[in-house]
Amino acid sequence: MADTKKEDFVHGDLDRLRHSAAHILAQAVKRLFPNAKLGMGPAIKDGFYYDFEVERNFTEEDLVKIEQVMNEIIASGYAFERDEMDKSAAVDFFRQRGESYKCEIIQGIPDSKVSIYKDGEFIDLCRGPHVQKSSEVKAVKLLSIAGAYWRGSEQNKMLQRIYGTAFASRKELDEHVRNLEEAKKRDHRKLGRELDLFSFHEESPGSVFFHAKGYFIYNTLIEFMREKLRGGGYREVQAPMVLSDELWKRSGHYEHFKEAMYFTKQEEREFAVKPMNCPGHVLIYGSQQHSYRELPLRIAEFGRVHRYEKSGVTHGLLRVRSFTQDDAHHFCMVEQLESEIKSLIELTKDVYQAFGFNEYSVAVSTRPPKAMGSDEIWNQATAALKSALESFSIPYEIHEGEGAFYGPKIDFVIFDSLRRPWQCGTIQVDFSMPERFELEYIGSDGNRHRPVMVHRAIYGSLERFLGILIEHYGGAFPLWLAPVQVLIATISEKQEGFAKEVQGRLLKAGLRSELDIRPEKIGYKIREAETQKIPYVAVIGDREAESRTLAVRGRGRKDLGALDVEGFIKRVQDETQSRR
């Protein structure tokens, strides 16, 4: 089979191909379900969908049949032909065919004429463009069925949506489907349940209940970051979670962020649960007089924030209503910005590297039309961000005009082991907050000056970062993050004494282990450890108990042979410390 020239296949082409596949899907559905009414069928990220009103819900078996008919249509090589109709004629045409949704769409189009596309016996209202022939859609797959309200409104009828994807070659489709399956296996919500890491409960929607194993990883992420903070000259603080609404009005959050904030009232005073940590740090900075000699001043907090998200958009650990940020604010002089940003980029790189995120993309967002602060200070700050990135030879994109009104920023997007992008860290310069709170330092000239503030987070949200890590590692955490590092498994009850002694020694050495002395077959115990993704299984049978050794297996069926207890402990300790 001739392969399409792949390098010429830019994204617009793929969208056109997928949208054409949506027509073919609708055509196939009409062949099998002549009474189906057509909704809309756009190309989307990674594929396409089409909405239908049908008498009964589609089933998985229907998808198989529909896909077969789609392949017949593709093989027929129908040409996509464009035609125009007057609007009123088009309404009549589609009304005769019972396509009430199409009539509604036409009535909403301002032009006097509309375009229709025909391939084989199928005609659809459409703006185009499409591939020339149905046979150009080389590889198609239907993926799932979902309910979807017409035009996304709950007031409207619920339609049946079929999702699919299409590619210009079978090879690309197969690779995509493999990635989808792998992503499904790695879904952090599924692994979170299976590995007993966390759960969600209706009693607190969108908020995480961390179980002991999940909380261990969460705390380890904090400890790792604390180590970095100490090295980076940060002062770790803690500000209260509930603060007066006066503060939020002054900071501007009340005005811009009110919909996402939780409020409470006591003694006739209004308070808000903090959605951000910045104002707390500003109060701490302002509580003392500062000299230029103290700057830059770096204040860090693992700050728990609450932000209201609609029930429909919360998603596992990735989007929650309550989360902890690894937040910090640098208070500095404008001329210190560049060196501050440099040290921040270095720290960010260093942290990501520890998790194997060696690839990331970076964007600098510049001054929006409505902004605060002079051109001069904006130019200076934006130049500082760019030149800091350049000094590390980090390529970056410019997002022109996409900075916040209060300053330019750098965003980091990391790529996980399935090469999926995740927005994580940000470094954000702020001229506004020091102004609003009249922050000052005494300069070398003895006068009062206004500092600049830099907001930054590296993990972003601990909850979200953990969700990303679960999927990145597929639940098989490296030794330093694994809640259980070693499973000690006995072959029979005779080895119980030695097994307990070994566990005692591992515990003393600071290692995390579980003991399996149940009267189960050893094969079963090992399989269970594999499902739990425990890095090491130390098997103890008669031979091991007698020679006081362990038959050690590494994750992924790696047989490491017999090791003496001391040697094994040393190995696990070294591997933990190296954080490989």
Nearer to Zn ion, 457 or 534 (CB): 457
CB atoms within 10 A of CB 175: 12
Minimum distance, C-beta of residue 394 to Zn ion, in the bound complex (Å): 23
* Residue 330 known to be catalytic: no
Cα distance between residue 91 and residue 116, in whole Å? 12
Integer CA distances (angstroms), 548 to 489, 498, 500, 504, 516, in order: 14, 8, 12, 14, 18
Nearer to Zn ion, 127 or 543 (CB): 127
3-state DSSP call for residue 226? Answer: helix
Centroid of chain to Cα 145: 23
Minimum distance, C-beta of residue 126 to Zn ion, in the bound complex (Å): 3
String marking each residue 445-464 x if it binds Zn ion according to CB under 5 A: ----------x---------
* Residue 325 known to be catalytic: yes
Q: Is 499 an interacting residue with respect to Zn ion (CB under 5 A)? A: no
Region from 123-131, 163-171, 331-339, 538-546 binding Zn ion, contact rule CB under 5 A: 123-131
Nearer to Zn ion, 50 or 271 (CB): 50
Q: Is 37 an interacting residue with respect to Zn ion (CB under 5 A)? A: no
**Nearest-10 Cα torsion for 352, 358, 360, 362:** 70
Nearer to Zn ion, 278 or 506 (CB): 278
What is the full DSSP assignment across 418-487?
T--EEEEEEEEEESHHHHHTT--EE-TTSSEEPPEEEEEEEEEEHHHHHHHHHHHHTT---TTT-S--EE
3-state DSSP call for residue 246? Answer: helix
Minimum distance, C-beta of residue 183 to Zn ion, in the bound complex (Å): 29
* Residue 92 known to be catalytic: no
Given 103, 126, 278, 424, the catalytic residue: 278
Minimum distance, C-beta of residue 412 to Zn ion, in the bound complex (Å): 16
Region from 30-38, 122-130, 152-160, 197-205 binding Zn ion, contact rule CB under 5 A: 122-130
For residue 364, the 8-state DSSP code is: E
* Residue 409 known to be catalytic: yes
Nearer to Zn ion, 163 or 198 (CB): 163
Minimum distance, C-beta of residue 42 to Zn ion, in the bound complex (Å): 9
Minimum distance, C-beta of residue 41 to Zn ion, in the bound complex (Å): 7
Please give the helix or strand (H or E) that residue 511 lies within, else none: none
Query: Within the chain, what is the greatest distance between any pair of CA atoms?
Result: 92
Region from 149-157, 273-281, 409-417, 506-514 binding Zn ion, contact rule CB under 5 A: 273-281
Cα distance between residue 277 and residue 455, in whole Å? 10
Q: Is 278 an interacting residue with respect to Zn ion (CB under 5 A)? A: yes
Number of residues that bind Zn ion (CB under 5 A): 3
Region from 124-132, 167-175, 308-316, 507-515 binding Zn ion, contact rule CB under 5 A: 124-132
Tokens of 62: 């229907």
Nearer to Zn ion, 50 or 198 (CB): 50
**Cα 175-180-184 angle, rounded to 5 deg:** 150
* Residue 103 known to be catalytic: no
Please give the helix or strand (H or E) that residue 566 lies within, else none: helix 565-578
Nearer to Zn ion, 103 or 278 (CB): 278
What is the full DSSP assignment across 367-426?
--SS--S-HHHHHHHHHHHHHHHHHTT--EEEETT-SBTTB-EEEEEEE-TT--EEEEEE
Given 326, 327, 411, 516, the catalytic residue: 327
Given 325, 336, 495, 532, the catalytic residue: 325
Minimum distance, C-beta of residue 241 to Zn ion, in the bound complex (Å): 15
Q: Any long-range contacts for 105-113 (C-beta under 8 Å, 24+ apart)?
A: 105/40, 111/87, 112/86, 112/87, 113/84, 113/85, 113/86, 113/87
Minimum distance, C-beta of residue 225 to Zn ion, in the bound complex (Å): 16
Region from 163-171, 276-284, 373-381, 512-520 binding Zn ion, contact rule CB under 5 A: 276-284
Nearer to Zn ion, 131 or 487 (CB): 131
Region from 264-272, 278-286, 404-412, 479-487 binding Zn ion, contact rule CB under 5 A: 278-286
Given 161, 307, 525, 553, the catalytic residue: 307
Q: Is 333 left (phi over 0), alpha (psi -120 to 50) or beta?
A: beta
Minimum distance, C-beta of residue 455 to Zn ion, in the bound complex (Å): 3
Nearer to Zn ion, 41 or 316 (CB): 41
Contact 87, 113 (CB under 8 A): yes
Minimum distance, C-beta of residue 130 to Zn ion, in the bound complex (Å): 6
Cα distance between residue 470 and residue 9, in whole Å? 33
Nearer to Zn ion, 104 or 530 (CB): 104
Q: Which of 126, 191, 424, 511 binds Zn ion (CB under 5 A)?
A: 126
Region from 28-36, 155-163, 272-280, 370-378 binding Zn ion, contact rule CB under 5 A: 272-280
Given 18, 31, 455, 472, the catalytic residue: 455
Do the strands 441-442 and 452-461 form a parallel or antiparallel pair, or are they unpaired? unpaired
What is the three-state SS of 96-118?
HCCCHHHHHHHHCCCCCEEEEEE
Nearer to Zn ion, 143 or 239 (CB): 239
**Nearest-10 Cα torsion for 402, 245, 452, 395:** -30
Residue of 522, 530, 580, 516 whose CA lies nearest to 558? 530
b/e for 469-486, b at 16 or more Cβ within 10 A?
A: bbbbbbbbbbbebbbbbb
Contacts to Zn ion by CB under 5 A: 126, 278, 455
State the catalytic residues.
278, 307, 325, 327, 329, 409, 455
